[in-house]
Amino acid sequence: MLSSQDIEFFIIIAGSRSLAAAARKLNVTPPSVSQRLQHIERKLAVKLVERNARSISLTAEGEKLAQKGQLLLLDLASLEQDISDNKSAISGNIKLVASIGFGEQHIGPLVAEFQNNYPLTNIELTLSDIPKWSIHNSPDIMFYIGHLQDSSLKRIVLAKNQRFLLASPKYIQSMPSLTTPHDLENHLCIGLRENDEDATMWQFTEEKTGETTRVRVTPKLSSNVSEITKGWCLSGQGIIQRSEWDVKKELADGTLIRLLPNYQLPSADIVALLSSESYNRSKKVTALLEFIQQRLTERL
């Protein structure tokens, strides 16, 4: 019979690119990881992982163990929380994942505020330019912005969010004509690589007709950090797409100007992703989620 430690170990394997990478996460040697994995496979009498020299991939049985194992661990953690915690206290460890820019500006400060309110909590916040559930070892909550791949995770919209096409007055003064999305082929565009999205395929919907236009741009500058791309745009280096929450100040003070206002970019709602239904969440996770949802409404 598998133990909870076996399941935790295998979930780390499932979220790693190789057994060597898993060994680094576990702070053990690669041979010991391989031996323990073989022991689990012998217990179940199935092959869980296909191995080659540089990477691993899960078999169908391995995928099932990783997915259902995560749910079992969450149920176990929830049970332990319900039994051991004082009903009047919010306490325990909480793991969060968020994108770099949004995490720095909003989630980080709010997490500190929540922890001050509930000093018995210990919160670990990981920021990533590619926030993915599978590679962050089952966080309690992942905060996500942008296009979401098909997922079995529970999705809670925290705030509506639009994207705008923007440039600085300096760039606009000498830029070529820009009346339709296709004109972008003659412009300097700045790419932001995040969330595994195609950073060079820009999509527009004409407000009156509903017609969708896709333009493949060739960025002269690109980065995986939003503040860098925004800084380039502010200095007149070209055109960016940015979320409404990130450019409110610049739009208000005129340092960034919205372009092609008759066209809409794909919306990018700010959402929380969780693996558990509301009735099955621990008190600490529910409290943090409700706190951030309320405070984001005030901040954005």
CATH number of the domain to which 197 belongs = 3.40.190.290
The first and second tokens of residue 90, run together, are 């919010």
> Which CATH number belongs to the domain containing residue 276 in this structure?
3.40.190.10
Range 186-191 average pLDDT: 94
Q: Are residues 141 and 260 in the same domain?
A: no
Q: Are residues 177 and 238 in the same domain?
A: yes
The pLDDT score that the predictor gives to residue 197 is 73
Quick one: what percent of the chain has pLDDT higher than 70?
91
Query: 80 in a domain, yes or no?
Result: no
Q: Are residues 173 and 132 in the same domain?
A: no
Q: Are residues 185 and 144 in the same domain?
A: no
Local confidence band at 199 (pLDDT 50, 70, 90 cut-offs): confident
Q: Are residues 258 and 275 in the same domain?
A: no
pLDDT tens for each residue of 216-265: 999 999 998 888 999 999 999 999 999 888 898 999 999 999 999 999 99
Q: What angle, rounded to 10 degrees, do the helices at 19-26 and 4-14 form?
A: 130
The pLDDT score that the predictor gives to residue 151 is 66
Q: Are residues 255 and 279 in the same domain?
A: no
End-to-end CA gap in the chain:
49
Q: Are residues 104 and 142 in the same domain?
A: yes
Q: Are residues 281 and 152 in the same domain?
A: yes
Query: 94 in a domain, yes or no?
Result: yes
> Which CATH number belongs to the domain containing residue 9 in this structure?
1.10.10.10
Query: 78 in a domain, yes or no?
Result: no
Q: Are residues 260 and 115 in the same domain?
A: no
Cα separations (Å) of 221 from 140, 167, 192, 225, 241?
A: 35, 14, 9, 12, 13
Distance of CA 245 to the CA centre of its chain: 16
- 159-188 CB burial, b ≥16 within 10 A, e <16: bebebbbbbbeebeeebeebeebeebeebb
Contact 61, 47 (CB under 8 A): yes
Q: Are residues 280 and 135 in the same domain?
A: yes
Q: Are residues 141 and 275 in the same domain?
A: yes
Q: Are residues 175 and 246 in the same domain?
A: yes
> Count of domains in the chain?
3
Local confidence band at 28 (pLDDT 50, 70, 90 cut-offs): confident
pLDDT tens for each residue of 77-108: 777 766 655 545 788 899 999 988 889 989 99
Residue 284: domain span? 85-161+269-299
Local confidence band at 166 (pLDDT 50, 70, 90 cut-offs): very high
The pLDDT score that the predictor gives to residue 150 is 52
